[in-house]
Amino acid sequence: MNSAARQNTAAQRRQTSSRPATGRPREIARHWRAADGIDMFEADYKNFSFPKHSHDYYAFGTVLNGAERFTTRGTNYVAARGQLLMMNPMQVHDGSPASDDGYQYQIMFIDPKVFGDLVTELSPKNSGLPFFGSCVVNDPELHLQLQDLHRLFRPNDDGSNVSNSLLERDSQLLYSAARLALRHADAPPYLYQPGSEDKRVRAVIDYMAAHLDANISLDDLAMITGLSRFHLLRVFRAATGLPPHTYFNHMRLRRAKRLLFDGASIADAAAATGFADQSHLNRHFKAMWGVSPGAFIASLDP
């Protein structure tokens, strides 16, 4: 196979497409790890809808075509072409097409610690992390800036990024963080502490994180908190926006995704996160991200 053919094969392998029924448009998504604490995602969805979920990273997105409809914190939004999406860590939201053509977008996920370090460089006296109260923003300059940053972090067809300037990439990342935090974050900043509203909720979340491979029960969680099962359901949902079983499932899926990023097999990822088998993980993974674990792996750098 010649060089051009190999590059074409690699590019096709990293582009993730779900396989819908005949006659329906394909859903296309691609994931990659740009750096420690920074993941990139781009997708072209025609019909796919996300269930309610959250991310443990900040999510900053640029809508390239079409429009996405989503609900978060009890408010309905539509983000159209040219607009920006902003989500805080653990902010519960859903997502679906808001136009006949679906929506195409790019998302940069940033670990709260990484983003916090960037913000600290801008304002050393500022404690805590930025909070973004506006989920849909009009900022044409930042929209183009984030597209450029996405391009700088995108690997070449052979999986390398040797042609990308580290100096330019790092500079653009800092510029983008500055514009995001200084122009669009609310004041004052908040401390990223999921479940801080109630120490009992924090104890439940910590227990879940330590037992991702276990089939925990509501009785187990009630015993930890000293609450009745019904009271626990109310307190937990009020603090996190999700019932315990959904929150736990999302924790397991995020962990499985990280394991796949790090090179684990689908079977090992399923076993480590409490899914009965690969098929069980496949169903939940695809419902969450629109692609199967196998297609997700195929989209990663070789």
* pLDDT for residue 125: 67
* pLDDT for residue 22: 45
Q: Could you tell me the pLDDT band of residue 265, with boundaries at 50, 70 and 90?
A: very high
pLDDT at 19 over 50: no
Q: Which of 70-74, 96-100, 137-141, 290-294 has the lowest mean pLDDT?
A: 290-294
d(CA 43, CA 19): 15
pLDDT at 174 over 50: yes
Does one domain contain both 126 and 174? yes
Does one domain contain both 160 and 276? no
| Secondary structure class of 84 (helix, strand, coil) | strand
Q: Could you tell me the pLDDT band of residue 8, with boundaries at 50, 70 and 90?
A: very low
Q: Which of residues 190, 211, 230 is at a domain's end? A: 190
Does one domain contain both 151 and 224? no
Does one domain contain both 76 and 114? yes
* pLDDT for residue 9: 36
Q: Which of 6-15, 82-91, 226-235, 265-274 has the lowest mean pLDDT?
A: 6-15
Q: Which of 43-52, 158-167, 206-215, 259-268 has the lowest mean pLDDT?
A: 158-167
* Sheet strands (E) in 73-118: 75-80, 84-87, 93-97, 103-110
Q: Could you tell me the pLDDT band of residue 6, with boundaries at 50, 70 and 90?
A: very low
The mean pLDDT of 218-238, rounded to a whole number, is: 89
pLDDT at 13 over 80: no
Supply the range of the domain harboring residue 169: 3-190
The mean pLDDT of 36-46, rounded to a whole number, is: 90
pLDDT at 192 over 50: no
Average pLDDT score over the chain: 83
Does one domain contain both 244 and 130? no
Q: Which of residues 190, 221, 250 is at a domain's end? A: 190
Percentage of residues in the chain having pLDDT higher than 70:
83
Query: Buried b / exposed e across 6-37, counting CB within 10 Å, b at 16+?
Result: eeeebeeebebbbeeeeeeeebbbbbbbbbee
Nearest to 105 by CA among 137, 145, 50, 64: 64
Q: What is the number of structural domains in the chain?
A: 2
Does one domain contain both 168 and 122? yes
